[in-house]
Amino acid sequence: MVWIAREDFVIGAKEKTEFYEESNMTHDLKILPEYFMAVALDEKTFEIRKNDRGYHVGDCLVLREWNGQEFTGRNIVRYVSYILYDWQAGLKDGYCIMSLKRSPANAVMDYSDQNGLASAT
């Protein structure tokens, strides 16, 4: 784990520096087909989720396409680059918005289907 310092903008009359933990945890998550394709095409670069897993910056999200009844066999990997937990931003208590990014390791082989075939991006 790595601790990263983040300088925030002026809050009131003081500057605030926060420390947050960067993690290497992997989370296996369901995602509906319309959202799966939007993430695969980099049209959707965020996830809004109930924070029941303790998400952190640096976490790996394995998004497994779920059609409502079963997994389709397609998966995509994204990494959490920023998390907004702030209830004042309009989030329901216990939820978070995670900004997603690609990893250099998956820049070419981005997702796979049930046959194990990779799709280049």
pTM of the model: 0.69
Do the domain assignments include residue 102? yes
The tens digit of pLDDT for each residue in 45-74 reads: 999 999 999 999 989 999 999 999 999 999
Residue 72, H or E segment: strand 71-84
Do the domain assignments include residue 113? yes
The tens digit of pLDDT for each residue in 69-112 reads: 999 999 999 999 999 987 767 888 899 999 999 974 443 344 55
Do the domain assignments include residue 98? yes
Do the domain assignments include residue 75? yes
Is it the case that residue 22 has pLDDT exceeding 80? no
Range of the domain at 89: 22-120
Q: What is the CATH number of the domain that holds 67?
A: 2.30.130.30
Number of domains in the chain: 1
Do the domain assignments include residue 57? yes
Do the domain assignments include residue 14? no
Q: Which residues of 67-102 are buried (b: 16+ CB within 10 A; e: fewer)?
A: eeeeeeebbbbbbbeebeeeeeeeeeeeebbbebeb
Do the domain assignments include residue 106? yes
